[in-house]
Structures are given as C-alpha cells and as structure tokens.
Amino acid sequence: MDVISVIRTKRDHGRLTDEQIDWVIDAYTRGEVADEQMSALAMAILLNGMDRAEIARWTAAMIASGERMDFASLPRPTADKHSTGGVGDKITLPLAPLVAACGAAVPQLSGRGLGHTGGTLDKLESIPGWRALLSNDEMMGVLRDVGAVICAAGDGLAPADKKLYALRDVTGTVEAIPLIASSIMSKKIAEGTGSLVLDVKVGSGAFMKNLDDARELASTMVGLGTDHGVRTVALLTGMSTPLGLTAGNALEVRESVEVLAGGGPADVVELTLALAREMLDAAGLKDADPEKALRDGSAMDHWRRMIAAQGGDPDAALPVARERHVVTASATGVLTGLDAYAVGVAAWRLGAGRARKEDPVQAGAGVELHAKPGEQVTAGQPLMTLHTDTPERFAYAIEALDGGVTIEAPGTSFEADPIVLERIA
C-alpha cells in the first residue's frame, strides 16, 4: 500500500477497497501518513463522497484504532445521545440525569466547543470543582452509583478520529458527510452503548443548513449504528433560532438547572422530553415517564449526585461576567427572526467559545436573550444582554449581530417552526 495511490483513487472518483481504508487509517494513526497527505484524502472525500460500504469500513477502521468500552456489567440498560451541535444547545445537561432518573444508564462522552457552537464540557467546567477527565474505572463507578456521567472521551477511544478531527477543522473538510458520520459513530460505537439517539440540527446555527443534507447525515449515521449492532434513531431538530434564552457556558448551566427544577424555556423542556422518550424507548424502558421525573424532583436529585460525583459543588455560585452591554430593539413590532448563527458568533466573540482547541474560554461570557421570535417588542426594549470579562469585545459581538434580528410591523402574523422536524429510524 502507498498513500498516493489511495489519494488518487478517491480523487478520480474511485471506490476505496477495504484494504486501502484499513491501511490508511492505521498508517495515519501511527504517523506513517503525513497530515498533508491525509488532508488531500479528506478533501477528495469531501468532493467525491463515499458509498455506505466505504463509510462503514472507514468507521470500523477508526474504531479498531483504539480500545472499546463494555457496559455489560451494569445493572441498567445503556442509552446515549449525541447532538451535531448548535447555539444554546444545553440539552445534554438536563437530559442525562433525567434519563438516569427513569432507569437507564447514560454514559455521555462529550466534547468542547469550537467556533460558534458551544461545548458541553466547557459549560460544566464553569461549576467549581467539576472534572471532565475521568478514568474508565471512575466513569463506571459514577454510572453504577448515579446512573449518568458526562465526561471527556479517553485517549484510547478511537485515536484515529482525534487526529483526523483536528485536521479537518483546519483544512475546510468539516462538512464532509462521510467524515462527520464516521467521526461521531466511531466514538459512540467504541463507547459501547446499547442504544443511541442522534439530535441532528438543521438551520443557520447548525453545520447542516438544509433539511436534505441533515436527512442524509442522519440516515448515514443510523445505518452505521444499525450495522454495528447499536439500536439507533435520529431526530432532525431546528437550529435557525437559538435554543432557550442563553448561549454561553455558566449562563446555560443556570438555565439547565431551571429546567431540572421544573421551569425553564418551553423549547428546551420540549426537546429534552422528546429526546428522553426516544432514549428510554430505545433502552427498552417504554413505561418510564420523564415528565414525572422532572416534576417530582428525581431528575434534579440525579443532577446533584452526578455533579458531586465528578468533584463539583452543585450549590456553588456560578461565575458571572464582569461586564454587560444591553442590545435594544431598533423598532416596534413583531420579532420574526433571531438568527442562531449570529447569536452564536456573538457569544464566541464575547469569549464563550474558542477559535483553536487550545484557546481558553470565559465561564461567564455569552448572550442572554430577553425575547424570542413571535413576541411583540417595543423600540428601545432590551432584546439581549451581552456578557464578557473583556469589554473591548462588545464591538465585535455587536458587529456579528448585524442583520441577525428581524422586526416586522405590529400585527404581523408569525408561526414558529416545530422543534422536531423529522424522525429517522
């Protein structure tokens, strides 16, 4: 095998053989294939695609590059969830303890934010003392004691994906559906969960901007999970408007706790319950009632135990940004548009996100919304509050919001898109 032949095959619209895929993933993981060579192959895959068999083999090769976890010893069925990322997407935080309160074990391996999409680990690290890095034994201990754990994937899990993910981010190949699907599913299958629910975001604030692309990605991932014996279902959900009323790390933790306390924004509650029902159904717990677990406090109890088990203080005050700036409505009328991408970029520029993996984030930075599409607003009324420790960032955040807010004449009719657009199984 040689890497030039593999690159040329895909460059010329050919189909990679199983042997070519196995060799190139293994050689890249060991450092025999250089980053610039894998970059060329990734671009060829972006431009020319892969068929289902190629994607399945590529995924299997990435799984084989590292260890696989096994949760067979747990007394509960396992269920996991993965979101393709969005703005204000704090759903994992209330969802994991909620599903655990209903009888499933939730081994939630999560990541950090990059660009305009937030990261679950960054959010939770705003809680004093909380640890994202757990050993496999520690992870199993939390799952046995609490039923849910949210942590970073260990270095031994699909190491080929870790290298390739970082490379795609700097070479303009993040959007390649075969590479997105295999990246997500290699980690989830290696993780060893028995069932998986995928939240595939669609809209301006998502990687998939249109329904057709989102449907293709979801179908590809559901097929990969099924082929590897993991019961998998996907929901296509809207991401043209931010989820909830916050985008930022500590801000989103605070809102998640409100949901667990029985309150919180309606859209966050609706999606949390929809995903919980899918996870419980996939795990064989069809009679469980997640709505009751929110009402009776058992979900909150599991949240507090989960945070404490990972070194966090669930009663500690969350960080607050030192500076604030209020953005007001420019006219009186109906708020008909609040672009998720614009809000996400604003939060990123305020310090809630990072441009490179090694960049720090501000725990208190972000955007707090005071109105959502469909509401009547008055000129001069606060629309959002910007939070940051570094006030020189305000101008750049406001620039990102230019064109992201649409206010139409009073009385304009408005009908919000549904949260859940489609289900693929």
67 within a domain of the structure (yes/no)? no
Same domain for 390 and 267, yes or no, is no
Same domain for 228 and 91, yes or no, is yes
Give me the residues of the chain with pLDDT under 50, please.
Answer: none
Number of domains in the chain: 3
165 within a domain of the structure (yes/no)? no
If you write DSSP's letter for every residue of 196-249 in order, what string do you get? EEEEEEESTTSS--SHHHHHHHHHHHHHHHHHTT-EEEEEEEE-SS-STTEEEH
394 within a domain of the structure (yes/no)? yes
Contact between 104 and 132 under an 8 Å Cβ cutoff? The reply is: no
Same domain for 248 and 368, yes or no, is no
- For residue 400, report the phi and psi dihedrals to the nearest 5 degrees: -65, -30
Cα–Cα distance, 366 to 388 (Å, whole number):
7
Same domain for 391 and 346, yes or no, is yes
Contact between 192 and 107 under an 8 Å Cβ cutoff? The reply is: yes
300 within a domain of the structure (yes/no)? yes
Q: Hey, what are 233's tokens?
A: 């279902």
Same domain for 131 and 12, yes or no, is no
149 within a domain of the structure (yes/no)? yes
* Mean pLDDT, the chain, integer: 95
Q: For residue 316, what pLDDT is reported?
A: 97
Which of 278, 309, 340 is the endpoint of a domain?
A: 309
Same domain for 137 and 275, yes or no, is yes
69 within a domain of the structure (yes/no)? no
pTM above 0.85, yes or no: yes
Same domain for 125 and 199, yes or no, is yes
- CATH number, domain of 394, equals 3.90.1170.30
Q: What is the CA radius of gyration of the chain?
A: 21
Which of 309, 344, 369 is the endpoint of a domain?
A: 309
Same domain for 262 and 357, yes or no, is no
Q: For residue 306, what pLDDT is reported?
A: 98
Same domain for 34 and 119, yes or no, is no
What is the pairing mode between strands 366-369 and 231-238? unpaired
Chain centre distance of CA 292: 26
Same domain for 279 and 347, yes or no, is no
Same domain for 117 and 254, yes or no, is yes
- Catalytically annotated residues: 82, 161, 168, 183, 187
23 within a domain of the structure (yes/no)? yes
64 within a domain of the structure (yes/no)? no
Give the domain extent around 9.
3-49
Residue 413 neighbours by CB under 8 Å, 6+ apart = none
- CATH number, domain of 37, equals 1.20.970.10
Same domain for 294 and 346, yes or no, is no
- CATH number, domain of 293, equals 3.40.1030.10
Which of 309, 339, 359 is the endpoint of a domain?
A: 309
